[in-house]
Amino acid sequence: TQSCLDAAAGADALNAYCAHTPDIAIEQAKAADARIGAGDAPDMCGIPLGIKDLFCTKGVKSQAASNILDGFKPEYESTITTKLWDSGAVMLGKLNMDEFAMGSSNETSAYGPAINPWRREGSDTKLTPGGSSGGSAAAVAADLCLAATGTDTGGSIRQPAAFVGITGVKPTYGRCSRWGVIAFASSLDQAGPMTKDVRDAAIMLETMAGYDAKDSTSANLPVPNFESMLTGDIKGKKIGIPNEYRIDGMPAEIEKLWADGADMLRDAGAEIVDVSLPHTKYALPAYYVLAPAEASSNLARYDGVRYGKRATLQSGEGINEMYERTRAEGFGDEVKRRVMIGAYVLSAGFYDAYYRRAQRVRTLIKKDFDDVYATGVDAILTPATPSAAFGIGEMKNEDPIKMYLNDVFTVTVNMAGLPGVSVPTGTDANGLPLGLQLIGRPWEEGDMLNIAYRLE
């Protein structure tokens, strides 16, 4: 804990943490020492973690990297962090992220971008660690914590994990409680672990997962011992390669990474089969209707009355001006864009044309996966991202759609509620990490992680 605290305090340049909590960390670490001494130590006991700023942590600033939650200190602790602390884990601080988890580069944060600890060979260009869990990714990759929590609505655990060369797991929707995790798009949001390897991810996921009566979409299913499922034996497993993920303009190095990954699994005894997910091309546009729709509804609560910031009014101004000014000053540009798109697609005149149609597309995307899994496929292998980490500003200053395209391989998994894991398996020509994604069958995270284990 002390060495992580020291490393984190000396790494301001990465802007991975938005708050350090050394007093809490030392107190928790001492309690963990006592538990270990007493022989009562669960797997996570004494493990120093960083917590994404989207998680409510009692008495500790939790702002979802937004100015609208300026100074917000929750009165309660999220279920996931409660489980982690109960198992003896240690909180080093809160981690930077895109504002309300909207983004793929950590550049929408009110705290400024987190920086990827990796550099292109022979270049000083600062790269993004991806997003929205960019601070989590940078902190784990730079040894500023042993592991971190992330959240994933359309790729926000898996894409940053790939950009910094770590492992990131998006569990099946309903596996981890959303209670106390600040909502972005509630039907897509899932929290998960971001770790140095698959074994750590299995251990941490087991602690984070489990039924919670406080989340109505939490699944009442037993949580397996995921670590014990990492046997490395994948003989006879059927791995699907979806044709539709061979997108136009995919860099040759990503194609090679993908083919090499399939070879590794084949060499380990798996059977590699071609599969088809015909509605893939509609996933991104449907996601960027549904996620903003849910966001516009979830973010309506930030009105200057209940949480965080309240704008200063001029004389004669009333409650409407208070709402308007608070939201105008408190939200950043990307959040405003999403709220406007969301309000538009939900509006009476356009609901059928956009929101309802996108919901239908979502059903078809889910059915694509159901059909593939019905043929006995155990997991689906794809690239995690269409490129390696890009430079700060390189995408942000372009059309926002360019940034959205980065989520092409990850959003389908959220739309279908499936588990997915991103594993680092190679590097690009500049020496930057690249990752592959495995998509598992619902509730089969253990099996998925065991296959991922063979890709490390």
Beta strands in 25-121 (DSSP E): 48-52, 90-95
Task: Answer yes or no: 52 catalytic.
Answer: yes
Instruction: Count residues binding ligand GLN (CB under 6 A).
Output: 13
Which lies closer to ligand GLN via its Cβ, residue 152 or residue 227?
152
Strand (E) or helix (H) holding 62? none
Q: Shortest approach of ligand GLN to residue 295 CB, angstroms? A: 8
- Out of 78, 156, 298, 326, the only residue in the binding site for ligand GLN (CB under 6 A) is 156
Q: Which residue has the tokens 């598992």?
A: 440
Strand (E) or helix (H) holding 25? helix 22-37
List of residues 6+ apart from 349 with CB closer than 8 A? none
Q: Which stretch binds ligand GLN (CB under 6 A): 134-142, 147-155, 244-252, 352-360?
A: 147-155
Task: Answer yes or no: 132 catalytic.
Answer: yes
- Out of 50, 93, 113, 154, the only residue in the binding site for ligand GLN (CB under 6 A) is 154
Residue nearest to ligand GLN (CB): 156
Residue 136: name the closest of 202, 183, 61, 194 by CA.
194
Q: Is 155 in the site for ligand GLN (CB under 6 A)?
A: yes
Q: Shortest approach of ligand GLN to residue 121 CB, angstroms? A: 27
d(CA 170, CA 193): 8
8 Å CB contact between 130 and 389:
yes
Task: Answer yes or no: 94 catalytic.
Answer: no
Which lies closer to ligand GLN via its Cβ, residue 409 or residue 453?
409
Return the SS3 of 448.
Answer: helix
Site string for ligand GLN, 111-140 (x = CB under 6 A): ---------------------x--------
**Of 326-355, which residues contact ligand GLN (CB under 6 A)?**
none
Q: Is 407 in the site for ligand GLN (CB under 6 A)?
A: yes
Q: Shortest approach of ligand GLN to residue 233 CB, angstroms? A: 32
**Of 74-113, which residues contact ligand GLN (CB under 6 A)?**
101-104
8 Å CB contact between 382 and 432:
no
**Of 212-271, which residues contact ligand GLN (CB under 6 A)?**
none
Which lies closer to ligand GLN via its Cβ, residue 28 or residue 298?
298
Which lies closer to ligand GLN via its Cβ, residue 407 or residue 444?
407
Q: Shortest approach of ligand GLN to residue 165 CB, angstroms? A: 19
**Phi and psi of 259, rounded to 5°?**
-65, -40
Catalytic-role residue among 105, 156, 218, 296: 156
d(CA 280, CA 359): 14
8 Å CB contact between 209 and 370:
no
Site string for ligand GLN, 279-318 (x = CB under 6 A): ------------x---------------------------
8 Å CB contact between 330 and 308:
yes
Which lies closer to ligand GLN via its Cβ, residue 152 or residue 444?
152
Q: What is each CA distance from 154 to 29, 101, 284, 300, in whole angstroms?
A: 34, 10, 9, 21
428-451: burial string, b at 16+ Cβ within 10 Å, e else: bebebbbbbbbbbbbbbbbbbbbb
Which lies closer to ligand GLN via its Cβ, residue 45 or residue 68?
68
Q: Shortest approach of ligand GLN to residue 83 CB, angstroms? A: 21
Q: Shortest approach of ligand GLN to residue 445 CB, angstroms? A: 18
Catalytic-role residue among 132, 133, 218, 422: 132
Which lies closer to ligand GLN via its Cβ, residue 104 or residue 177?
104
- Residue 244's Cβ-side half-sphere holds a number of Cα atoms within 13 Å equal to 16
Q: Is the peptide bond before 105 cis (omega within 30 degrees of 0)?
A: no
Q: What is each CA distance from 134 to 99, 124, 161, 209, 364, in whole angstroms?
A: 11, 19, 8, 22, 31
Q: Is 200 in the site for ligand GLN (CB under 6 A)?
A: no
List interacting residues with ligand GLN (CB under 6 A).
101-104, 132, 152-156, 184, 291, 407
What residues are labeled active site? Answer: 52, 132, 156
